[in-house]
A and B are shown apart, each in its own frame.
Chain A
Amino acid sequence: EAGVTQFPSHSVIEKGQTVTLRCDPISGHDNLYWYRRVMGKEIKFLLHFVKESKQDESGMPNNRFLAERTGGTYSTLKVQPAELEDSGVYFCASSQVVLSSYNEQFFGPGTRLTVL
């Protein structure tokens, strides 16, 4: 079974440019999450989709970040305009919907974003 995939693996852009990251969850996983790790810090939650709906976006840092999941399959995370402090590794994760208990989140390999 294919795992979570992310594209691109690396992106180098200049401050003020726009970047779009893509995540394809494990097939059949309705839950999709975005996390990021900025330099020297711990991994932090950004937001959570259930199918195409944003369930929790409490971790989104500001309105320069826009996440979408049209059709409830893959998701994109757009940063516009990018700032230096946005540099880091952006992880996507997915999980099945299990109402009665917590279920494992499977992480993708991440997109390493460098803003110059």
Chain B
Amino acid sequence: RKEVEQDPGPFNVPEGATVAFNCTYSNSASQSFFWYRQDCRKEPKLLMSVYSSGNEDGRFTAQLNRASQYISLLIRDSKLSDSATYLCVVNIGTGRRALTFGSGTRLQVQP
């Protein structure tokens, strides 16, 4: 079983749509959670951290459910520029700073 599991997609949505991505992680000791965005042949870039209370940044909302070991990302009013691969990323903590990545979910926003 992978440590971080994501639906690979692709998700093809029209501009203006709302789209949600989900992710599960296997290590219950994980302490920090993130969504990274990766454009084609580019490096991953931090989109947002994910907190237990849920957090929002403009059109993006992230949620964490520790009991279910589940992380979500909601994108409202999708833009063409949102087309990318979204990586669910976890840090186990306990003094280690290594990031564990999911394989990513590809989003294609269409005009």
Interface digits, A1-42 against B, CB 8 Å rule (1 contact, 0 not)?
000100000000000000000000000000101010000011
Q: For chain B, residues 73 to 100, give those with C-beta under 8 angstroms from any C-beta of chain A.
A: 87, 91, 93, 96-100
Q: Is the CB of B43 within 8 A of A91?
A: yes
Q: Which of B45, B87, B97, B100 has the most CB of A within 10 A?
A: B97
Specify which of A4, A48, A107, A110 is in contact with B97 (CB 8 Å cutoff): A48
Is B32 interfacial (CB-CB < 8 Å)?
Answer: yes
Contact, CB under 8 Å: B102 / A58: no
B99 touching A41 by the CB < 8 A rule?
A: no
Which residues on A sit within 8 Å (CB–CB) of B44?
Answer: 43, 91, 107
Interface check A108, CB cutoff 8 A: yes
Given the contacts A33-B98, A58-B98, A102-B31, A42 and B43 also touching, CB distance less than 8 Å:
no
Bound CA–CA A41/B103 (angstroms): 6
**A102 close to B101 (CB less than 8 A):** no
Q: Mark B1-43, 1 if CB is under 8 A from A, else 0.
A: 0101000000000000000000000000001100000000011
Do B4 and A42 touch (CB < 8 A)? yes
Q: Chain B nearest CB: distance from A32 CB in Å?
A: 11
Q: Does A74 contact B (CB under 8 A)?
A: no
Contacts between chains A and B (CB distance < 8 A), count: 50
Q: Beyond the given A41-B103, A43-B87, could you list 14 further A-B residue pairs with CB under 8 A, ordered by the A residue number?
A: A31-B97, A35-B99, A35-B101, A42-B103, A45-B99, A48-B97, A56-B96, A56-B98, A59-B98, A102-B31, A102-B93, A105-B99, A107-B43, A108-B43
Q: What are 27 sample pairs from A and B whose C-beta atoms fall under 8 A apart?
A: A33-B97, A33-B99, A35-B99, A42-B102, A42-B103, A43-B44, A43-B87, A43-B101, A45-B100, A48-B96, A48-B97, A48-B98, A55-B97, A56-B96, A56-B98, A58-B98, A91-B44, A95-B97, A102-B31, A102-B91, A102-B93, A102-B97, A105-B46, A105-B97, A105-B99, A108-B43, A109-B42
6 closest pairs, A vs B, by CB? A107-B43, A45-B98, A43-B101, A42-B103, A102-B32, A42-B101
